[in-house]
Amino acid sequence: MGDSVHLQQVLLNLVLNALDAIGESPTDTRKVAVLARRLGGSNVEVSVSDSGVGIAPDKLAQLFEPFFTTKPNGMGIGLSISRTIIEAHGGRIWAENNAGGGATFRFTLPVAAREGSA
């Protein structure tokens, strides 16, 4: 159960950021992967991974702050809004660097109990 427009916005923000991150890479090395999986318990996890520039380790904590941007034309609000939306749905969102380069953004969401059960 969730606000589909808001959740769509989160996914769009993450994919657009991933596309920005791979923008300077040679065409044949550009990769973006979107995965969804069921976690143990009653949560789902969605991840958006890219083969881009990655995140400076000292900036990992700041990315989700409003108006933090490293882009000349960035507003720095995409991730801040995304965090607000995910937390409003009872989930978490965070970023990590990939071992092989690039970054992965993940969010979790609780799965609603089926109508009539629980």
Question: Where along the sequence are the contacts to ligand ATP (CB under 6 A)?
Answer: 13, 17-18, 21, 50, 52-55, 63, 68-71, 74-80, 103
Residue closer to ligand ATP (CB basis): 71 or 114: 71
Residue closer to ligand ATP (CB basis): 22 or 109: 22
Helix (H, G, I), strand (E, B) or coil at 108: strand
CB 73 within 8 A of CB 23: no
Residue closer to Mg ion (CB basis): 12 or 112: 12
CB 49 within 8 A of CB 103: yes
Distance (Å, rounded) from C-alpha 72 to C-alpha 59? 17
Residues forming contacts to Mg ion in the complex (CB under 5 A) are: 17, 78
